[in-house]
Each structure stands twice: as C-alpha cells, then as structure tokens.
A = this chain, B = another copy of it.
Amino acid sequence: MRILVSNDDGIHSKGIYELVKALKEIGEVTVVAPLTEQSAVGHAITMKIPLRVTEYYKNGEFFGYAVDGTPADCVKMGIRNIMKTPPDIVVSGINHGSNTAINIIYSGTVSAAREAAILDVPAIAVSVAAHRVENFSYAAETAVLTVQKVCKYGLENGTLLNINVPDLPKEKIQGIKLTKQSKAKWDDIYEKRVDPYGNDYYWLKGNLVEVDESEDYDQTAIKKNFVSITPIHFDLTDYKTFLKMKEWNIETNR
C-alpha cells in the first residue's frame, strides 16, 4: 500500500513523525508537508506565488518533502507532481489540537485530507484533542486501523474520515464512535490591546460552546473519552433550502 502523509503543524512536528512511524508498518510512506506551521489556514491554496519543494531530513535520514505552502498545496503537489501515480490513501496529521464541529472548516489538517478527496483519493485526518499532546500512540494506532478498514470496505469518491482522539493512554479510552459534525460554535471575541507605540491591535479568543448532548456528535464523543470518526464530504449544497427557495419566485428565464 502506498500512503501519502501530510499535516498542518509542519513537517518538523512530533505528530507527523509519530504518524509516519506507525504507517510505515503497513505501507510505503511518502511525506509532503508544510515547511512551516499552517494552523487555521482552512482550505487555502497558493496560486499567486510559485511554490518550492525541498528535501527534509530528520536525524540525518530523508524524511520527506517540505513545501512552502498550505496543507492543501502539499497534498495537491504530492498527488499531482511528486508521486508518479496517485497513492492508495492520504493520511493527514497527527494534529496537535482537536478538529471537531465548526473547526473542520478552519482546519488545515482536515483541508489536506479534503484536497485528497477532491482528487478522488481516499483520505483520513487524525487529531488529538490537546494542544500540548502527551499521548500520540493511540491516535497512531487508530489511524492504522482506519486505513485498514478503508482498504477493506472502500470509501466513496469525495468522502474523507475525520478522526479525533482524546489525549489519553489507551487504557483510558472509552471506545470508538461513528459521529456527525457537532453544532458547537465559538463564542469568540477580539481582545483589544495597545502596542508600545500607542496603536490598537486585536487578539482573537473564545470558547467552543456545546450545544449537542448525544455521543453521536464528534465534540461530545471526545468529551466522553471516545475516539470520534466522522465521515465528511464537500458537496455543500443545502438541498432543504434549495427546495424551499423554489417558492421565492426568484427564478426567471427569457
């Protein structure tokens, strides 16, 4: 099995290192990841400036290709240019921090996997729910298990799996849940500060406010110490509203 690995924390991060180590047990791994951290870049792609690719070494050994762009750039570059034929699967992560609820829109980790799905390659995004992660090993184990399940059962073109793992040792994990995207949202505000030159500037801060109680939702599942696996896609059409709008009398035709 040929596996392309990317992330959004950058090629130097601990999360991608742990993921690659685990996936090498089950396949041939190619790493194409951002040269620098790219958190919260969403599905940005680089079009107005050219990209550069450099070989990246860890502990004196070739580790992978670093791209001076976004996670989506890396996956596009990996599939379209670096690998001679598309990989069997793309795995993005392991992210430092959860990617649940509305955060899957902002997330570079999820966008890397989504770019693969756009290019008709099955894909998985893996995140651990803590910014200073202590336990990567169960997340890596879940990534391996899920890759094996995808190989066995297949995934429809355009679907990716978004996995979130609590930051706990294996014996404290409650189980694995199939989930839906939570409706939890940020109560964010901008904190105003003044710089040493008397000019205002603003920091974004806030908390994710829970609205779902069922473990069927990604955010609730990880709160209850379950691994959450959510299938997501990129057909954003709101079919319910589409039908409702037929009554708006807005359509015209010469």
- A-side interface residues toward B, CB under 8 Å? 37, 39-48, 50-53, 72-73, 76-77, 80-81, 102, 104-106, 111, 114, 118-119, 145-146, 149, 153, 155-156, 159, 174-178, 180-181, 183, 185, 188-190, 193, 199-204, 226, 229-242, 244-248, 250-254
Which residues of the other chain, B, contact A42 by a CB distance below 8 angstroms? 41-45, 72, 111
Q: Hey, which chain B residues are within 8 Å of A118, CB to CB?
A: 102, 105, 185
Q: Are A236 and B233 in contact (CB under 8 A)?
A: yes
Closest 7 CB pairs of A and B: A42-B43, A231-B241, A42-B42, A175-B253, A233-B238, A175-B252, A232-B236
Neighbouring B residues of A53 by C-beta, 8 Å: 200, 202
List the B side residues contacting A111 at CB < 8 Å. 42
Q: Offer 22 A-B interface pairs, CB within 8 angstroms, sorted by A.
A: A40-B48, A42-B43, A42-B72, A45-B204, A50-B201, A51-B204, A52-B199, A53-B202, A76-B190, A80-B188, A81-B189, A81-B190, A102-B118, A105-B234, A149-B248, A149-B250, A156-B241, A177-B251, A177-B253, A229-B245, A233-B236, A234-B236
Q: How far is the CA of A201 from the CA of B50 in the complex (A)?
A: 6
Q: B202, A241: Cβ atoms under 8 Å?
A: no
On whether the beta carbons of B204 and A76 are closer than 8 Å, the reply is yes
Known interface pairs A44-B40, A45-B40; A201-B52 also in contact (CB < 8 Å) = yes
Q: Are A50 and B193 in contact (CB under 8 A)?
A: yes
Q: Determine if A237 and B178 form an interchain contact, defined as CB atoms under 8 angstroms apart.
A: no
Q: Which residues of B contact A175 (CB under 8 A)?
A: 251-254
- Point out the residues of chain B lying under 8 angstroms from A47, CB to CB: 39-40, 204
- In the bound assembly, the distance between CA atoms of A208 and B179 in angstroms comes to 33
User: What B residues does A45 contact at CB under 8 A?
Assistant: 40, 42, 106, 204
Pick the contact of A237: B51, B80, B181, B246 (CB < 8 A).
B181
* Complex Cα gap A52–B73 (Å): 27
Contacts of A244 in B (CB 8 A): 153
Q: Which of B37, B41, B156, B176 contacts A250 (CB 8 A)?
A: B176
Of all chain B residues, which has the CB nearest A107?
B43
A241 touching B248, Cβ below 8 Å:
no
Q: Which of B41, B105, B114, B252 contacts A114, CB < 8 Å?
A: B105
Do A237 and B241 form a contact, CB below 8 Å, given A43-B106, A111-B42? no
